[in-house]
């Protein structure tokens, strides 16, 4: 399912590594069918953690914007009739 260099997001907090659910990492090695080596990098580019994780500990990332907070709900194609549009003054 996963390939080396796939971007993934944590499915749960890892307090020992100061990582939170949704933090992004990159798979750097596939050790076995049940073991992935995942690198988490800080905004500075420094490695924050290098962890061996089970595939259930991460999820694939398709949209970077929605990584930490889970999937964002799709917006409706048309505005809701109960909402008023913002008006410029």
Domain boundaries, the chain: 7-61
With a cut of 50, list the residues of the chain below it in pLDDT: 72, 74-76
| pLDDT value for 88 | 52
Look at domain 7-61 and name its CATH class. mainly beta
Q: Is the CB of residue 40 less than 8 Å from the CB of residue 24?
A: yes
Phi-psi sector, 16: left (phi>0), alpha (psi -120 to 50), beta: alpha
Residue 8 pairs in a beta bridge with: 25, 60
Q: Is the CB of residue 78 less than 8 Å from the CB of residue 24?
A: no
| pLDDT value for 62 | 80
pTM assigned to the model: 0.70
| pLDDT value for 1 | 83
20 three-state secondary structure: coil
């Amino acid at each position: 399912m996963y390939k080396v260099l796939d971007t993934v997001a944590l499915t749960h907090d890892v307090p020992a590594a100061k990582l939170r659910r949704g933090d992004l990492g990159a798979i750097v090695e596939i050790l076995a069918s049940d073991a992935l080596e995942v690198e988490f990098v800080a905004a500075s580019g420094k490695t924050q953690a290098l962890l061996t994780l089970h595939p259930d500990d991460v999820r694939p990332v398709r949209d970077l914007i929605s990584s930490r907070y889970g999937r964002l709900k799709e917006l409706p194609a048309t505005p809701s009739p109960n909402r008023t549009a913002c008006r410029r003054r």
